[in-house]
Amino acid sequence: MTSTEIAAVRPARTPRRSGPRSTLTRSSGLGLGIAMIWFSALVLIPLMAVVVTAIDGGWDVFRSTITNGQTAAAIRLTVSTALGVTVVNVIMGPLIAWVLVRDRFWGKSVLEVMIDIPFALPTIVAGLVLLSLYGNDSPVGIDIANKRPAVFLAFLFVTLPFVVRMVQPVLEELDRDVEEAAASLGASRFTTFRRVVLPSLAPAIAAGAALSFARGVSEYGSLVLLSGNLPFKTEVTSVRILSSIENDNVPAAAAVATVLLVISLAVIVLLDVIQRRVAARG
């Protein structure tokens, strides 16, 4: 008797569910089809093209590009700075959102609009603003032009709204009753936040963090002016990719792009795992 036959004569055992059953109707199937075409044309195909271009160049080109000291330094700087900025945003974002949702104060609506400015501003304008404030002729006496903090600052500037804007609506929807219930059960404000509020915010924080990291890794406009793009020091990957293209070395550019793609994907997956842990813990 084979194992499949054994399984067949045991009707009491419920079959393991292989996943959610499809609920597609003809019209929603059409919708899904359109969505997939749209998604493929805009995202999947270009992404695949980058990877294919990188592979086309051959493994040797790929490896020599990645192990090139200048490129590796640029990748290290970009990824570590983006991670650092994301950590700052994960702490500051919910804090700002909390103030905006829970407190009433003079000038709140102005602040509300200001949060979005880094979003709305063309990045090169942001770069100009940063340069005039923190450049060589800094009116406040802080000169970080051509130094690494310039990259950090530029990332911080452009990624500010992400976590705030993701957390804000969730916080608004949060039931105040739940916090009061925790308080009447004896929980301090900190414990209430950690065990009751934070698990509800975790998915929004993670989503904001992912956006903020992705934006950091891809940033170009806001930092080129202030950072000076010094190889091994303040050069980021987007600048490195651009110079590869300018030197007609498309496979090298694609190779760097592919590495960034893989890192971004890994970070997004990691954030999702962390988010699930926090949301389930309580």
Partner 1 sequence: MSIEVTGLNKKFGDFVALDDVNVTIPTGQLTALLGPSGGGKSTLLRIIAGLEKGDTGTVNIEGVNATNLPAQKRNVGFVFQHYAVFKHMTVAKNVAFGLEIRKRPKDEIAHRVDELLKLVHLSQFAHRLPSQLSGGQRQRMALARALAVEPSVLLLDEPFGALDAKVRKELRDWLRRLHDDVHVTTVFVTHDQEEAMEVADEIVVINEGRVEQVGTPDQLYDEPANDFVMSFLGEVTHLGGVSLRPHDIDLETQPLLAGAVEGSVSRMVRIGFEVRLHVLTVDGDEVSVIITRTHARSLGLEEGSTVYLTPAAGATVIPRMAAVG
Residue ranges that bind partner 1, judged by CB under 8 A:
175, 177-178, 180-188, 191, 195-196, 199-200, 279-280, 282
Q: Least CB distance from residue 112 to partner 1, whole Å?
A: 24
DSSP 141: S
Within 10 angstroms of residue 185's Cβ, the number of other Cβ atoms is 10
Q: Which is nearer to partner 1, 109 or 184 (CB)?
A: 184
Do 155 and 85 contact (CB within 8 A), yes or no? yes
Question: What tokens does 238 get?
Answer: 């987007």
Q: Which is nearer to partner 1, 137 or 173 (CB)?
A: 173
Q: How far is the CB of 186 from partner 1 (least distance, A)?
A: 5
Both structure tokens of 269: 């997956």
Residue 193 C-beta: closest distance to partner 1, Å? 13
Q: How far is the CB of 281 from partner 1 (least distance, A)?
A: 8
Q: Which is nearer to partner 1, 148 or 194 (CB)?
A: 194
Gap between the Cα atoms of 119 and 34, Å rounded: 29
- The Cα 107–Cα 105 span in angstroms is 6
Q: Pick between residue 60 and residue 177 the one whose CB is nearest to partner 1.
A: 177
Least gap, CB of 176 to partner 1 (angstroms) = 9
Distance CA 219, CA 123 (A): 9
By beta-carbon proximity to partner 1, the closer residue of 166 and 259 is: 166
Q: Which amino acid is at 191?
A: T
Closest CA to 237 of 66, 55, 119: 66
- Is 199 in contact with 275 (CB distance < 8 Å)? no
